[in-house]
Amino acid sequence: MELVSGPWGAEQVERWLNGARIPIRLAVLAPRGPLVVSLWYRFADGALWCATGADADVVRHIRADPRVGVEIAPDLPPYRGVRGTGRATIIRDLGQSTLDLLLDRYLDPVNDDLATWLRDQADDEVAIRIDRLTLSSWDFSGRMRSQEPSPVLPHIGDA
């Protein structure tokens, strides 16, 4: 992992990547232009790991061009996070085990039914390993306060 700019050092970036339990925004190059998808991730062995179905569009695009962009940042103030670039590799044999680690990371016991459903659908799961990371951090915490909990999206009603 190479840090190119920002207020955080390598230890702070790793702490952020290990502690932030929010999805990664993964940008891939598609024939019609960039495509951004949100996926669960974990940081291990100097790489970011995600899982998705083998037939997902993002998998096809990574196989065609492994260059990716990444961002791990919350949507509410104070704005801070990590973004950058890397190289993605699709690993079929680690799909299920990566999914299990992601479910443990993201889902609390209250969502056991969702975890069970996702595991039941995971026969064709693949892992996405993103390495050769070049990352930058930003942090507006010093000049931006947290907002009180308030709705940030309009109420749409029952679907």
Full residue range of the structural domain in which residue 73 is found: 2-139
Examine residue 150 and state whether it is found in any structural domain, yes or no: no
Q: How many domains does the chain have?
A: 1
Q: What pLDDT sits at residue 1?
A: 84
HSE at residue 34, side-chain half, CA atoms within 13 A, is 8
The CATH number linked to 12 is: 2.30.110.10
Q: Say if CB 82 and CB 137 are below 8 A apart.
A: yes
- The string of pLDDT tens digits covering residues 52-96 is 999 999 999 999 999 999 999 998 888 899 999 999 999 999 999
Examine residue 35 and state whether it is found in any structural domain, yes or no: yes
Can the peptide bond before residue 78 be classed as cis, meaning omega within 30 degrees of 0? Answer: yes
Examine residue 152 and state whether it is found in any structural domain, yes or no: no
3-state secondary structure (DSSP) of residue 8: coil
pTM above 0.75, yes or no: yes
* Predicted confidence band of residue 116 (pLDDT cuts 50, 70, 90): low
Q: Say if CB 48 and CB 130 are below 8 A apart.
A: yes
Q: What pLDDT sits at residue 148?
A: 63
